[in-house]
């Protein structure tokens, strides 16, 4: 239960984005508005991927005590992940 609270505390916004954008992607997929659907799919992949990454890290490593150097590496990893999702998603 503590893990679920932690996930919603840190990634509540991303979970909300994933749900909303999945709905938009599915609702526009039958209509000829490809741009809205493609953007919604990419935002869904981005937010769902961040949550999945956090859950996997939490299960494998546990809670990480961050220092300044770790935060810099983590932010660069998130930027690279976001770029890859929007480039190839």
Mean per-residue pLDDT over the chain, rounded:
78
Q: Which of the four pLDDT bands, split at 50, 70 and 90, describes residue 29?
A: low
Q: Where are the beta strands (DSSP E) in the chain?
A: none
Mean pLDDT for 65-71 is 74
Contact 75, 31 (CB under 8 A): no
**Residue 30 confidence (pLDDT) above 70:** no
Contact 57, 2 (CB under 8 A): no
Token pair of 18 as six digits: 């994933």
Contact 53, 74 (CB under 8 A): no
């Amino acid at each position: 239960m503590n893990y679920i609270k932690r996930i919603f505390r840190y990634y509540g916004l991303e979970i909300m984005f994933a749900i909303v954008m999945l709905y938009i992607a599915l609702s526009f997929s039958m209509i000829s508005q490809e741009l809205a659907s493609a953007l919604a799919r990419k935002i869904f992949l981005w937010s769902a991927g961040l949550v999945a990454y956090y859950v996997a890290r939490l299960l494998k490593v546990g809670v990480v005590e961050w220092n300044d150097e770790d935060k810099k590496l983590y932010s660069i990893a998130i930027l690279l992940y976001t770029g890859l999702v929007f480039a190839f998603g």
